[in-house]
Amino acid sequence: MCTMLLLIPDRCTGCRMCELACTMAHEKLFNPNKSRISIHFEGTPELWNPSVCRSCGDPPCEKVCPTDPKAIYRDEKIGGGMLIREDICIKCGECIEACPFAAIFWHPEQKLPLVCDVCMGDPECVKYCAPKALLVGGKQKLADEKKTDYGKDQIKKVEEGFKK
């Protein structure tokens, strides 16, 4: 069971397989507009920015939810993913506004917030992320992966220096 979904944006190639895996797992169809992870394209040449719930320690989305009980909440049983109680949600969108990572989206048909639930502990997007921009684990795993990337970058710089 995962503790959280980890994102390393520098590894993302913008292929959008994560969006397709997500919508197939949740909606049983391929439709990036209904995904709980999003790849935003900006500029020319295209730059992409992946956006997904970061499982905040004290989720601002949950804090601002006006319902009692909260319509958006962390389910510790699934390792920290956020869930929506659709029968309680009043569709106000406060959670979307409160997310510091712009990682809560809006379902175009159900008119409900979409947030990553880490596929109940076994995220499909991670299985299809070839460049390993998406991983499962905790903060230490993220730190270890960033260290590995930094080391590879330093080795590459040294090798390029020898070629000159």
pLDDT in tens, 82-123: 999 999 999 999 999 999 999 999 999 999 999 999 888 889
Q: Residue 66: which residues within 8 A CB-CB, separation 6 or more?
A: 90, 92, 94
Tokens coding 52: 């997904």
58 versus 64: which is more confidently predicted? 64
d(CA 156, CA 20): 33
Residue boundaries of the structural domains of the chain:
4-138
Q: What is the largest CA-CA distance in the chain?
A: 65
d(CA 79, CA 120): 8
pLDDT in tens, 28-47: 999 999 999 999 888 766 77
Q: Residue 139: which residues within 8 A CB-CB, separation 6 or more?
A: none
- What is the architecture of the domain spanning 4-138? 2-Layer Sandwich (3.30)
Bond preceding residue 113 cis, omega within 30 of 0: no
Q: What is the pTM of this model?
A: 0.82
Measuring CA to CA, which residue among 15, 22, 69 is closest to residue 41? 15
Residue 139: per-residue pLDDT:
72
d(CA 14, CA 37): 12
Q: Which alpha helices (H) appear in the chain, and where do they start and end?
A: 17-27, 60-64, 94-98, 124-127, 139-163
- SS3 state of residue 163: helix
Tokens coding 80: 């920290």
* Mean pLDDT, residues 47-59 taken together: 86
Q: Which alpha helices (H) appear in 65-138, and where do they start and end?
A: 94-98, 124-127
Tokens coding 150: 């930094």
